[in-house]
Amino acid sequence: MTKFIPVSEPSITEKEIDYVTNAVKSGWVSSIGQYIDAFEKRFAEFVGTTYALTTSNGTTALHLALVTLGIKEGDEVIIPDLTFIATANAVTYTGAKPVIVDIERDTWCIDPQSVKKAITAKTKAIIPVHLYGHPANMDVINHIAKEYGLYVIEDAAEAHGAKYRGKKVGNLGDIGVFSFYGNKIITTGEGGMLTTNNEKIYKRAKFLKDHAMSVEKRYWHPEIGYNYRMTNLQAALGLAQLERIDELINKKIQIFEWYKEFFGDIQCIKLNPQKEWAKNVFWMVCLILDTDFGISRSELMAKLKEKGIDTRPFFYPISQMPMYNSGKINPVAYDISQRGLNLPSGVNLKKESTIKNSP
């Protein structure tokens, strides 16, 4: 039988097993413990921010970022059409409206010109998403945000370690948000992180994340908060992964290079974008089929599946989902979404798998 090659799988070594075992043995199995502190400290150092705050997942980190900034019903938040649904849902949880705009063809990330056109008196924030590991065009976005007095929350769920003009994502806006879901660059099983350089934002987020419990008076809750805490067990896994993050990112880049070498001469496909100012961490290696590819995306995916090669279609545009469908079409997002697929990009992948089993 052909070996199954998954789109993604985590890399778990003795280090991860040791740290998680230590955490379990310590008895600190909930959300207080040395691994939480160490993971937050090391993650802030990695991103280059003053603060990092663990959360239960990337979606709660996004929601926490929004409520921390005071986003509420009646507000508007601009997001890209091509992203995972969590970006839009987190905005909706606050009562605000996600305003969904098109992406750029050469980064697949939010198009700053479309952002500018979508700004109204109700707009409070922009959420650029560093899609599939490539950073958004942050200087232009930050410039627009400054001009109109808007917050910038980076959705860096898929882009740990990616750089915009030499600076790490998560350190480019008011708040950065990361996910540690099992398929992410580093994982804690489920988990998330909020990063910021602003002490007020950090303290407010830390307060809201833990049921808004008073720092001075235990079990006193002056407002409605949330339980968005990560456990020490998850943080133990996260710390071990973080200590290996350069190795994991380098492997992602190497996997992309293998595909590039193999597909390089094929005319009717394109791989991930790579702007000259960007360090792309290639969370997922992506293939875009030209319209004259010959067979449809679903036929190609079925053929690869027969050979034991797992793939995923690109995200559907958010504005196509029933709850977000306003009838407006964002042409670039719709086009890229229809023609894109993710190839096996797991860090345990071997070069022979990408070549021998490819079409």
Ligand X SMILES: Cc1ncc(COP(=O)(O)O)c(C=O)c1O
Contact status, residue 71 vs residue 92, Cβ threshold 8 Å: no
> How many angstroms separate the most distant Cα atoms in the chain?
67
Closer to ligand X by Cβ: residue 153 or 300 = 153
Among the listed ranges 14-22, 79-87, 137-145, 193-201, the one in contact with ligand X (CB under 6 A) is 79-87
Smallest distance, Å, CB 109 to ligand X?
A: 10
Interface residue with ligand X, options 57, 232, 272, 330 (CB under 6 A): 57
The set of residues, in sequence order, having a beta carbon less than 8 Å from that of 342 and lying 6+ positions away, is: 7, 132, 284, 285, 286, 287, 311, 312, 313, 314
Beta bridge mates, 189 = 181
Buried b (16+ CB within 10 A) or exposed e, 219-242: eeeeeebbebbbbbbbbbbbbbbb
Counting contacts by CB under 6 A, is residue 181 touching ligand X? Answer: yes
Which one of 49, 54, 59, 232 is in contact with ligand X (CB under 6 A)? 59
At its nearest, how many Å lie between ligand X and the CB of residue 181?
Answer: 4
Q: Which of 294, 314, 315, 283 is nearest to 359 (CA)?
A: 294
Among 87, 137, 142, 187, binds ligand X (CB under 6 A): 87
By CB under 6 A, tell whether 154 contacts ligand X: no
Q: Is 314 in the site for ligand X (CB under 6 A)?
A: no
Burial pattern 141-162, b for ≥16 Cβ within 10 A else e, equals: bbebbeeeebbbbbbbbbbbbb
Q: Judged by CB, which is closer to ligand X: 28, or 228?
A: 228
Contact between 179 and ligand X by CB under 6 A: the answer reads yes
Query: Is residue 128 a contact residue for ligand X (CB under 6 A)?
Result: no
Instruction: List, by residue number, the catalytic residues.
Output: 184
Which window, 55-63, 201-209, 217-225, 300-308, contacts ligand X (CB under 6 A)?
Answer: 55-63
33 lies in the site for ligand X, by CB under 6 A? no
Whole-angstrom distance, CA of residue 244 vs CA of residue 54: 18
Rounded to an integer, what distance in angstroms lies between the CA atom of residue 24 and that of residue 18? 10
Instruction: Based on the shown chain and the rule CB under 6 A, indicate whether residue 342 belongs to the binding site for ligand X.
Output: no
Cα separation, 171 vs 154, whole angstroms: 8
- Nearer to ligand X by Cβ, of 69 and 86: the residue is 86
The CB-nearest residue to ligand X is 58
User: Toward ligand X, which CB reaches closer, 56 or 353?
Assistant: 56
Alpha-carbon distance of 81 to 101, in angstroms, equals 6
Cα gap 128→135, rounded to integer Å: 9
Nearer to ligand X, 16 or 155 (CB): 155
Site residues (vs ligand X, CB under 6 A): 57-59, 83-84, 86-87, 129, 155, 157-158, 179, 181, 192
